[in-house]
C-alpha cells in the first residue's frame, strides 16, 4: 500500500504540504494568491502542448492500474465494485453523490476564500484550442479513476486486511485525501476531508466504487469546464 501511495497520491500529499508552506511564507495573504491547475505548457505550439497534456493524463493512471493488479493478485479485485455491471445504479448514485458534495462544497470554497483560509483556485488554464474541452474531460476522468480506485477501493481494502476499524480506515483515507489538496489552502484541505468521509460512508453502504468515480468525474467536469466557460465573464473566481 505504501508503495502505491508513494508513487501517486501520497507523493502528491508531500508536495502539497510543501506548496502550502511556500504560500504561507510569502508576504501576500493566502486569499490573494492564485492556485492554477490544468495549465498550458507550450501555448505557442499547440501540438506539443497537447502531447504534454495527454502525458499528464496517462501517467497518473499507472498507479491506479497497479492497485487494480495488486487487488487481483489477492483475489479482491471484484469486491470493490469497479465494473460496468450496474450502470443505472452507478450513474444515479453518482449524480446524487456529486450533488451532496458539490453544492455545499462550492459555498464552502467561497466562504473559506473570503475568510482568508484558501487561495483563489483557477482550475482550467489551457490555451484555447480545438482539444481544450476534450483534454479537460480527460483530466476529469483521470482524477476520478485515480483518486477513488486508490483511496477507496485499494487503500480501504488494505486497511481492512490490517484489521483496522472501518471508520478509522475511512478517517485516515479522508485525511490523506485532504492532504493532497492542501496546496489549494486550508479550505481545500478541510473540504476534501469531508468529501473523503462522505464518500467512504457511501462506499461502505453501496459496496461499489463506481458511483464515487462517477461523482468525482462529474464534480471535476463542472469545475474545469464550467470555469473555462464562465470565468471570462465574471469576477466570482
**Mean pLDDT per 10-residue run, the chain (237 residues)?**
89 97 97 95 96 98 97 93 97 98 95 96 92 97 98 95 94 97 97 98 97 98 90 65
- What pLDDT shows up at residue 236? 61
- What pLDDT shows up at residue 70? 95
- What pLDDT shows up at residue 1? 81
Q: Can you give the pTM of this predicted structure? A: 0.94
Instruction: Say how many domains are in the chain.
Output: 1
Q: How far is CA 75 from CA 72, 79, 80, 86, 217, in A?
A: 5, 8, 11, 21, 27
Residue-range definition of the domain harbouring residue 37: 2-233
Amino acid at each position: 500500500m505504501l508503495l502505491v501511495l508513494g508513487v501517486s497520491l501520497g507523493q502528491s500529499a508531500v508536495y502539497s504540504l510543501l506548496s502550502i508552506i511556500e504560500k504561507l511564507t510569502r508576504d501576500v495573504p493566502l486569499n490573494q494568491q492564485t492556485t492554477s491547475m490544468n495549465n498550458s505548457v507550450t501555448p505557442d505550439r499547440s501540438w506539443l502542448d497537447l502531447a504534454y497534456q495527454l502525458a499528464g493524463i496517462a501517467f497518473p493512471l499507472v498507479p491506479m492500474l497497479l492497485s487494480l493488479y495488486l487487488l487481483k493478485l489477492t483475489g479482491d479485485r471484484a469486491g470493490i465494485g469497479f465494473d460496468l455491471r450496474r450502470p443505472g445504479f452507478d450513474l444515479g448514485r453518482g449524480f446524487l453523490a456529486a450533488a451532496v458534495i458539490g453544492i455545499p462544497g462550492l459555498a464552502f470554497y467561497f466562504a473559506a476564500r473570503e475568510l482568508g483560509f484558501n487561495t483563489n483556485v483557477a482550475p482550467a488554464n489551457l490555451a484555447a484550442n480545438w482539444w481544450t474541452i476534450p483534454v479537460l474531460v480527460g483530466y476529469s476522468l483521470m482524477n476520478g479513476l485515480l483518486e477513488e480506485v486508490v483511496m477507496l477501493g485499494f487503500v480501504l481494502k488494505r486497511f481492512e486486511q490490517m484489521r483496522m476499524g472501518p471508520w478509522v480506515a475511512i478517517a485516515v483515507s479522508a485525511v490523506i485525501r485532504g492532504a493532497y489538496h492542501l496546496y489549494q489552502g486550508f479550505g481545500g484541505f478541510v473540504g476534501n476531508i469531508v468529501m473523503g468521509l462522505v464518500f467512504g460512508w457511501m462506499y461502505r453502504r453501496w459496496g461499489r466504487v463506481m458511483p464515487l468515480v462517477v461523482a468525482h468525474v462529474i464534480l471535476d467536469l463542472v469545475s474545469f469546464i464550467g470555469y473555462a466557460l464562465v470565468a471570462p465573464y465574471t469576477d466570482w473566481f
